[in-house]
């Protein structure tokens, strides 16, 4: 079986789990896969995040160790008969009756897993328009601390400003599947230098034109720290 097929099946199982339709075997396979593969775990977490946002719920992080515990707990339970293996479609169809019975146990486990994933860690207020999942695709907005008169219609969420981390611009390729996705991990230093340089040159220029006073200088100087 090719890796691609295996991956596809895992993805299908994930979708099924998200829809509450995963059987116990699928759940076990997923838990095993997510323990073995960071990617599956992360995909699960992304699906979860997406579902939360769609439902307008708060966003939680995935606790992988909890998932591992659940996996262990299920392992201690009485194993299913081998005929439930990943056989042909007809076989699976015939087994559906027995599937149903054992489904309840799987469903319980799934629910527990869900509770763990849904968790309680509140990262942020739900945002109008549900932009939380879009962090890779949208310009991250500044979220200012509320201070007096805001023009009406301004979205001023709870403060979440961190202090300083990186000054590197965030790259969003136009077509991430066409071979540029790797930039998310390691953009070429020449590219980052170029972007930094043009941003600085632009800001220095802008300082003399717009009516923003010294703000562009603040932008220009800000960028200096990475790779100049």
Residues binding other proteins (CB under 8 A): 128-129, 139-144, 147-151, 153-156, 160-165, 167-175, 180, 183, 188, 190-191, 194-195, 198-199, 201-225
Nearer to other proteins, 10 or 49 (CB): 49
Q: How far apart are CA 74 and CA 109, in angstroms?
A: 8
Least Å distance between CB 37 and other proteins? 28
CB of 220 to other proteins, least distance (A): 7
Q: Which is nearer to other proteins, 119 or 227 (CB)?
A: 227
CA distance 207 to 210: 6
Q: Tell me, rounded to whole angstroms, the distance of Cα 126 from its chain centroid.
A: 15
The CB-of-173 to other proteins minimum distance in angstroms stands at: 4
Nearer to other proteins among residue 13 and residue 196 (C-beta): 196
Beta carbon of residue 97, minimum distance to other proteins (angstroms, whole number): 52
Yes or no: say if 49 and 66 are a contact pair by the CB < 8 Å rule: no
Shortest Å distance, C-beta 134 to other proteins: 12
Is residue 7 within 8 Å of 26, Cβ to Cβ?
no
Q: Which lies closer to other proteins via its Cβ, residue 61 or residue 146?
A: 146
Q: Which is nearer to other proteins, 119 or 173 (CB)?
A: 173
Residues in the chain: 228
CB of 175 to other proteins, least distance (A): 7
Looking at the Cβ atoms of 36 and 155, the one nearer to other proteins is 155
For residue 133, give both structure tokens: 């999942």
Distances (CA, A) of 194 to 178, 181, 200, 203: 22, 19, 10, 14
C-alpha dihedral over 102, 105, 111, 114, to 10 degrees? -80
Give the chain's end-to-end CA distance (angstroms, integer).
Answer: 49
């Amino acid at each position: 079986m090719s890796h691609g097929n295996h991956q596809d099946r895992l993805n299908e199982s994930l979708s099924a789990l998200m829809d509450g339709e995963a059987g116990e075997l699928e759940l076990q396979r997923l838990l095993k896969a997510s323990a073995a593969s960071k990617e599956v775990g992360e995909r699960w977490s992304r699906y979860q995040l997406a579902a939360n946002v769609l439902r307008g719920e708060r966003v939680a992080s995935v606790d992988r160790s909890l998932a591992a515990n659940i996996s262990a707990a299920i392992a201690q339970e009485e194993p299913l008969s081998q005929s439930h293996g990943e056989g042909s479609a007809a076989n699976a169809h015939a087994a559906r009756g027995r599937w149903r019975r054992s489904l309840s146990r799987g469903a319980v486990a799934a629910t527990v897993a869900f509770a763990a994933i849904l968790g309680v860690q509140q990262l942020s207020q739900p945002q109008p328009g549900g932009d939380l999942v879009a962090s890779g695709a949208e310009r991250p907005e500044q979220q200012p601390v509320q201070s007096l008169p805001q023009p009406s219609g301004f979205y001023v969420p709870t403060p979440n400003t961190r202090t300083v981390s990186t000054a590197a611009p965030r790259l969003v390729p136009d077509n991430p599947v066409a071979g540029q996705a790797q930039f998310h991990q390691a953009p070429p230093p020449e590219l980052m230098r170029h972007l930094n340089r043009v941003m600085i040159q632009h800001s220095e220029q802008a300082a003399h034109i717009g009516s923003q006073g010294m703000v562009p200088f603040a932008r220009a100087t800000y960028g200096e720290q990475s790779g100049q």
